């Protein structure tokens, strides 16, 4: 309030001063008129009680001019009577027409009138102030509600509108919808839905939120409505409601849902295409590995059957020449002996290469015999003590599974020889519940964290590890690599089916 007075400045003070001057002037004028009237009526009223007309001035001043002006009017009346109406006595107590009691009575009753008038004036002022505050509050409420972006309304229990803000009036192009129901404004189906919501709020006696729809000139609109029970000043039960138009938001969300569905459809289509491409790559990889095994088998067969036979023939020819060594010179005889030794070494190397490319034991005797032979040969060549443990449950399997396990062991031992620096290695092979479990472990320096991260990235895996995973994955198996500063362990779990039930025993090769 101080701020408001401060903002009003001199104008406000001037208005207040002007109002006070006016009230005092009115009181003085009323008193002068009363005295003048009493002077005129003296022949008729006599001088017994000179205060008859002054009562009207006092009452007027007390009721309309305020406390100060009414007191001034009373004092001015007393002075006026003494110096105007009764000039010959001049308040002389001995004068017979001077009535001291009348003066005292006038003063007392004037005080009573002033007190009653001030009380009535203040009560009136409060009433006027209350009415003005009420009107101001009503105007403020109307302004607030009419400028609200929400459609705001009140309904009675019969569904009739008792209040609606400007947004609703403009929405229906009506000056007022008071007394109307939803059935007068909306289609029957929508109106019934609104009434059901209203009944639910009255029934549960608490605020509820609803999503409602309406048909407007520009199409269907969606409204977020909050409805709540309330009572007016007379205790009558009402329903208050505020509805926000969320049509644009709903349309945007619908467009977003459609975009997401379209995106999901595209992702699904791309996923299917990618799956097909991956399937094609897996088939191609499987075919390449199959062709690689077939080529290894062919080369091994060629080395064994063709090159091996020619080396055998050369060896026999050298044996014939050697049988005639007594007829040869010492130099030629020594050269024949050296050729014989080189032929034997080449034969051994060819046999080893042929068996490494594709050991004939793998086809003839199975995985157990092929692994035993390979581990023994590897230990001799690398000077790494390899312990092979094959459980009795491991029997003959499908050729693809036996070939995959053999190649994995071959690759693992090669990596141990090249990278680990381990003097020993362990191979465990076990078969149970239709799965073959392979474990290859070394006790070397392990794989660094950076290298392990690279191994887990399909884009950076080495050719050997990628080949092992491809072989195992094509047969529905899983290959895991675990490594720390105590060594590295390769685990393979492969679903297999038996091709024979040949008896087997636990083997250990060191």
pLDDT tens digits along 138-189? 888 888 888 888 889 999 999 999 998 988 888 778 788 888 999 988 889 9
**Do 36 and 91 belong together in one domain?**
yes
**Do 385 and 477 belong together in one domain?**
yes
What pLDDT, on the 0 to 100 scale, is given for residue 202? 92
Domain contains 381: yes
What pLDDT, on the 0 to 100 scale, is given for residue 356? 66
Radius of gyration (Cα) for the chain, nearest Å?
59
E strand intervals along 183-323: 208-216, 219-231, 237-245
Domain contains 306: no
**Do 98 and 226 belong together in one domain?**
no
Helix (H, G, I), strand (E, B) or coil at 38: helix
What pLDDT, on the 0 to 100 scale, is given for residue 286? 64
What pLDDT, on the 0 to 100 scale, is given for residue 197? 94
Domain contains 171: yes
Domain contains 341: no
**Do 136 and 160 belong together in one domain?**
no
What pLDDT, on the 0 to 100 scale, is given for residue 259? 92
Question: Of 214, 245, 276, at which residue does a domain stop?
Answer: 245
Structural domain boundaries, residue 426: 365-495
Domain contains 50: yes
pLDDT digits (tens), the chain, 510 positions: 444 444 444 554 555 566 788 888 888 888 888 888 877 777 776 666 677 778 888 888 888 888 888 888 888 887 877 666 655 444 444 444 446 777 777 778 888 888 888 888 788 888 888 888 888 988 888 888 888 888 899 999 999 999 989 888 887 787 888 889 999 888 899 999 999 999 999 999 999 999 988 887 778 888 889 999 998 888 899 999 998 888 888 888 889 999 999 999 999 988 888 888 877 776 776 677 667 766 766 776 666 667 767 777 777 777 777 777 677 778 887 887 888 788 778 877 777 776 666 677 677 778 888 888 888 888 888 888 999 998 888 888 888 888 888 888 888 888 888 888 889 999 999 988 888 889 999 988 887 777 766 665 544 444 577 777 877 887 888 888 888 888 888 899 988 765 444 434 333 333
Domain contains 448: yes
Nearest-CA neighbor of 209 among 228, 226, 197? 226
**Do 379 and 419 belong together in one domain?**
yes
Domain contains 323: no
Domain contains 292: no
What pLDDT, on the 0 to 100 scale, is given for residue 461? 45
Helix (H, G, I), strand (E, B) or coil at 213: strand
User: Which pTM was predicted?
Assistant: 0.44
85: left (phi over 0), alpha (psi -120 to 50) or beta: alpha
Domain count for the chain, please give it. Answer: 3
Helix axes 247-302, 463-474, angle to 10 degrees: 100
Question: Of 84, 114, 144, at which residue does a domain stop?
Answer: 144
Q: What CATH number does residue 174 fall under?
A: 3.30.450.20
Q: With contact defined as beta carbons under 8 Å apart, do 307 and 349 qualify?
A: no
What pLDDT, on the 0 to 100 scale, is given for residue 11? 56
């Amino acid at each position: 309030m101080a701020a408001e007075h401060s903002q009003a400045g001199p104008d406000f003070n001037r208005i207040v001063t002007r109002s006070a001057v006016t009230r005092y002037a009115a009181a003085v004028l009323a008193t002068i008129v009363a005295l003048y009237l009493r002077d005129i009526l003296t022949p008729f009223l006599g001088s017994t009680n000179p205060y008859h007309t002054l009562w009207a001035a006092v009452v007027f001043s007390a009721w309309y001019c305020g406390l100060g002006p009414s007191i001034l009017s009373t004092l001015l009346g007393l002075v006026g009577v003494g110096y105007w109406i009764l000039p010959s006595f001049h308040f002389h107590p001995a004068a017979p027409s001077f009535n001291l009691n009348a003066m005292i009575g006038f003063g007392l009753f004037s005080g009573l009138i002033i007190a009653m008038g001030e009380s009535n004036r203040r009560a009136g002022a409060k009433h006027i102030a209350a009415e003005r505050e009420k009107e101001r509050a009503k105007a403020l409420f109307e302004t607030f509600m009419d400028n609200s972006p929400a459609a705001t309304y009140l309904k009675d229990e019969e569904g009739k509108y008792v209040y609606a803000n400007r947004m609703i009036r403009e929405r229906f192009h009506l000056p007022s919808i008071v007394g109307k129901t939803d059935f007068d404004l909306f289609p029957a189906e929508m109106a019934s839905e609104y009434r059901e919501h209203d009944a639910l709020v009255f029934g549960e006696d608490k605020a509820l939120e609803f999503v409602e729809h309406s048909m407007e000139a520009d199409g269907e609109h969606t409204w977020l409505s909050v409805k709540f029970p309330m009572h007016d000043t007379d205790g009558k039960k009402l329903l208050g409601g505020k509805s926000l138009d969320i049509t644009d938001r709903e349309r945007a969300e619908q467009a977003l849902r459609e975009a997401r569905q379209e995106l999901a459809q595209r992702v699904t289509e791309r996923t299917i295409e990618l799956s097909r491409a991956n399937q094609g790559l897996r088939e191609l990889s499987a075919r390449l590995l199959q062709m690689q095994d077939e080529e290894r088998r062919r080369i091994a067969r060629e080395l064994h059957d063709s090159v091996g036979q020619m080396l055998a023939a050369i060896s026999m020819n050298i044996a014939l020449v050697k049988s005639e060594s007594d007829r040869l010179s010492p130099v030629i005889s020594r050269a024949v002996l050296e050729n014989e030794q080189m032929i034997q070494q080449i034969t051994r190397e060819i046999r080893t290469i042929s068996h490494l490319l594709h050991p004939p034991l793998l086809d003839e005797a199975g995985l157990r015999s092929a692994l035993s032979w390979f581990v023994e040969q590897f230990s001799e060549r690398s000077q790494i003590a390899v312990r092979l443990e094959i459980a009795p449950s491991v029997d003959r399997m499908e050729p693809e599974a036996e070939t995959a396990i053999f190649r994995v062991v071959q690759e693992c031992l090669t990596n141990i020889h090249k990278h680990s620096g381990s003097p020993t290695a362990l191979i465990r092979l076990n078969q149970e519940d239709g799965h073959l479990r392979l474990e290859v472990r070394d006790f070397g320096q392990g794989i660094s964290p950076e290298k392990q991260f690279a191994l887990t990235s399909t884009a950076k895996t080495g050719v050997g590890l990628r080949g092992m995973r491809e072989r195992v994955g094509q047969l529905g198996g899983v290959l895991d690599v675990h490594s720390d500063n105590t060594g590295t362990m390769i685990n393979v779990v492969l679903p297999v089916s038996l091709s024979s039930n040949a008896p087997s025993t636990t083997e250990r090769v060191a």
